[in-house]
A and B are shown apart, each in its own frame.
Chain A
């Protein structure tokens, strides 16, 4: 059974640029096995951070991308029929609890509220996961930790985490890094020069000024990396910005025009 979990180990160090004291805080939280919540806008490095931490702590990482059709059994597990009868199949959460992995529920608010409550007994001092259907009670492995990500701005308005869920987590706030750091990240991830990376970051800053003034969300670091990748593949810088930065985030012609013009203040 050990090899099931070993596939979730992260062998190579993922690139993560430390912004402030988040690594130290996370390590302290992990040593207490405190459930953590990573908050921040999309594409600012939440998932990369947890990959990096899993690598650093040498723990397997099981990631679940949550969606609104997800049911509790998608997390916990279910009986499967096979040719000879039925067989229990652990879900990702049960797997992580049994074998001591970090379970990362990405965009947890997307899941229905009745789904999210199954994590409750795992996230307080009980640290157990009851499997109703097999009448089993999994006592979480000593290494098990639960981490969720949560983007406060972008959810539909009626959707939010319940207080009883929220209050079980410590929260780390993520945001787009400062200019110099973001420039370093973009340059490292794409191979473009520091100068080009700096320009991309400045364009992103302009778009972030427009958040709430016609844009729902600013240009993320991830988008900058896409743009950088295109530029590194010899796509003309202006075109790359149009494809990777401007067109994806808005359909409003005025907004596009303003953003295109913003791009030309750096790339002509």
Chain B
């Protein structure tokens, strides 16, 4: 069975991850962004332990395909493809290495270029030189921690002393000279630049780049070569266009704060008071005209008083709206391949035949082979293995699963690097999951929720445990929409209530969300975090295992606190999410 499983897993991997190199028409191999982006993200995370947003740059304002990396709003934009190139000296540089160099260079800017330079009273030429110095400065800072980056960048610089016609040639030579100690260049101006750069005492001081840049721009005048801003651009492919360095008019400072830091500043104490003294909002009858099926009151945990506020949250079950079945059909049609793989995987974990547990000291029946072996040992005067009994056990799977979908407004946001909203992805996952799970016949339910203050937590039973998985639940899953907040604690308590009515031995609550708990009347994050944590603990006390699948790459700060160390997964590759969900399920259900 294991063999089958491994083969399927590798097939699935091949299906999901085709080779990253493609050969172009003119015979040069080409690397595409879509194929390398995950590697780049993992790589940057490994280097600096923070989440960088990397995006494919489409076309620019004139409709031309972007061929240079650039940084905009702290997002690293990389071209759609890089061709392998052949510099004269160092042999060929594969496209993916160019990507890697570009990503690390841009990340270095985000980390080390703390404030944009002011372009006031500067001509285009000094700006170009300052940019080169700043490039060299952030690279030198990165090389200080990661020496190997030097060769990665250096192998892409191709300027030589023979290039001496245009200003651009000199800029390229300066860039190379500042990075690569081994590069020989006897030009006086280049030497001056090198000497100035090497004499910098404190590389962290960003203004030094401006000082040196202006000085070098002045001394370049002796060469009497004209500068043409549109032609004399650096020729190194991996460096971004440095628009990030310069403060633009009428635009706020764009300062990068690594995401892991911004997330850790959780919980402002002042918000707590507000969550108690708020006024009850008016129910939005026009929007939620659907009949209310039941009303429930749940307590909520107040971390400051360390007590539960009884009957604090009002939760209503509503009848979900049916959506367009065509959506479901198209999901199923598009993922036919994936579904059949998932079915095969899940069949592999389905009930086996009767299972004999051998080598028992006290079992139900005698294991004849073991008894004979023991007898032989005794006759030979050796101590026998006394575990001669065995027991037959029929492995039955006895598990109920409730998948709880976060239907808050943030689900409408697009997922990084994918042309898909979190809600669409959630819909796909629920459908694929249901398709696969019906083949084993475990009882499962799919519920969803959103909230609008503590008075209005809306809960939808899209599919119930005892409901057959047919047109009705499918249409309801098609009809899910994202709105309002995420009061997760109340929803988990209600899901616990439903799971408690199940008779299975194992109960699993899978929570699919794109972010952390939040709601309009609870600006203090810690409040809802702690309440959710409490609700998960209560569920555990009821024998329910909770597992969170988060689509938020910065989630590990809080998800691990809420759900416990090994009970969550931050999905780093949305493409194989359906399969991952299933593997978690299989791991738990075994």
Is B567 an interface residue when CB atoms closer than 8 A count as contact? Answer: yes
Q: Would you call A261 and B384 a contact (CB within 8 A)?
A: no
Q: Is B137 an interface residue (CB 8 A)?
A: no
Cβ-defined partner of B567 (8 Å) among A157, A202, A257: A157
Q: Given the complex of chains A and B, what is the CA–CA distance between A243 and B386 in angstroms? A: 42
B378 partner residues in chain A, CB cutoff 8 A:
81, 83
Bound Cα distance from A156 to B567, whole angstroms: 10
Question: Which residues of B, 531-582, contact A by the 8 Å Cβ criterion?
Answer: 545, 547, 553, 556, 560, 565-567, 570, 572-573
Q: How far is the CB of B318 from chain A (nearest CB, A)?
A: 32
A113 contacts chain B at the CB level, 8 A cutoff? no
A156/B587 in contact, CB under 8 A: yes
Contacts of A157 in B (CB 8 A): 545, 547, 566-567, 587-588
Cα(A24)–Cα(B36), bound, Å? 50
Q: Inside 8 A of A69's CB, which chain B residues have their CB? A: 359
A268 to B374, CA, bound (A): 59
Determine if B73 is an interface residue (Cβ-Cβ < 8 Å): no
Q: Are A214 and B42 in contact (CB under 8 A)?
A: yes
B42 A82 Cβ-Cβ under 8 A: no
Asked if B383 is an interface residue, CB under 8 A from chain A, the answer is yes
B572 touches A213 (CB 8 A): yes
Cα-based distance from A253 to B545 in the complex (angstroms):
31
Q: Does B151 contact A (CB under 8 A)?
A: yes
Cβ of A264: which chain B residues have Cβ within 8 Å of it?
Answer: 148, 151-152
**Docked pose: A80 CA to B384 CA in angstroms:** 7
Q: Are B46 and A258 in contact (CB under 8 A)?
A: yes
Contact A261 B147 (CB under 8 A): no
Taking CB atoms, residues of chain B closer than 8 Å to A212 are 556, 560, 570
Confirm or deny: B290 has a beta carbon within 8 angstroms of a beta carbon on chain A. Answer: no
Q: Write the chain B residue with the least CB distance to A81.
A: B384
Q: Which residue of B lies closest to A156 (CB)?
A: B587
Most buried by B among A73, A78, A212, A261: A261
Q: Is A181 an interface residue (CB 8 A)?
A: no
A74 vs B335: C-alpha distance when bound (angstroms): 50
Q: How many A-B residue pairs have CB under 8 A?
A: 97
List B13-47 residues whose CB lies under 8 Å from chain A.
Answer: 13, 17, 38-39, 42-43, 45-47
B252 at the interface (CB under 8 A from A): no
Determine whether A206 belongs to the interface, using a CB cutoff of 8 Å to chain B: yes
Q: Which of B42, B545, B567, B587 has the most C-beta atoms of chain A within 10 angstroms of its own C-beta?
A: B42
- Are B46 and A158 in contact (CB-based, < 8 A)? no
**Contacting pair B566 A155 (CB below 8 A):** yes
- Of the candidates A71, A158, A265, which one forms a contact with B545 in the assembled complex, judged by CB atoms under 8 Å apart? A158
Complex: A265 Cα to B150 Cα, angstroms = 8
**A49-81 Cβ-contact flags toward B at 8 Å (1 or 0):** 000000000000000000001010100001111
Nearest residue in A to B13 (C-beta to C-beta)? Answer: A253
Interface string of A166-205 (1 = CB under 8 A from B): 0000000000000000000000000000000000001000
Chain B residues with CB under 8 A of A265:
47, 146-149, 152
The answer to the question of A15 belonging to the interface, with a C-beta cut-off of 8 Å to chain B, is no
Contact among B43, B506, B566 for A258, CB-based, below 8 A: B43
Q: Which residues in B have their C-beta under 8 angstroms from that of A266?
A: 146-148
Please pick, from B148, B383, B553, the residue contacting A81 in the complex, using a CB distance under 8 A. Answer: B383
Min CB distance, A266 to chain B, in Å? 6
- Which residues on the B side are within 8 Å of A73 (C-beta)? 361
Q: Is the CB of B565 within 8 A of A262?
A: no
- List 15 interface pairs A-B (beta carbons < 8 Å), by A numbering: A69-B359, A81-B374, A206-B46, A209-B48, A210-B42, A212-B560, A212-B570, A213-B570, A257-B43, A258-B46, A262-B46, A265-B146, A265-B149, A266-B146, A266-B148
Given contacts A212-B560, A265-B152, 15 further A-B contacts (CB under 8 A): A80-B383, A156-B587, A158-B545, A210-B45, A213-B42, A213-B45, A213-B553, A214-B572, A257-B43, A261-B43, A262-B46, A262-B47, A265-B146, A265-B147, A268-B151
Going nearest first, the 10 A-B pairs with the smallest beta carbon separation are: A265-B148, A258-B42, A206-B46, A209-B49, A265-B146, A258-B43, A83-B381, A80-B383, A254-B39, A264-B148
A residues lining the B interface (CB < 8 Å): 69, 71, 73, 78-83, 87, 152-158, 202, 206-207, 209-210, 212-214, 253-255, 257-259, 261-262, 264-268
- CB within 8 Å of A: which residues of B? 13, 17, 38-39, 42-43, 45-49, 100, 145-149, 151-152, 359, 361, 374, 378, 381-384, 386, 506, 545, 547, 553, 556, 560, 565-567, 570, 572-573, 587-588
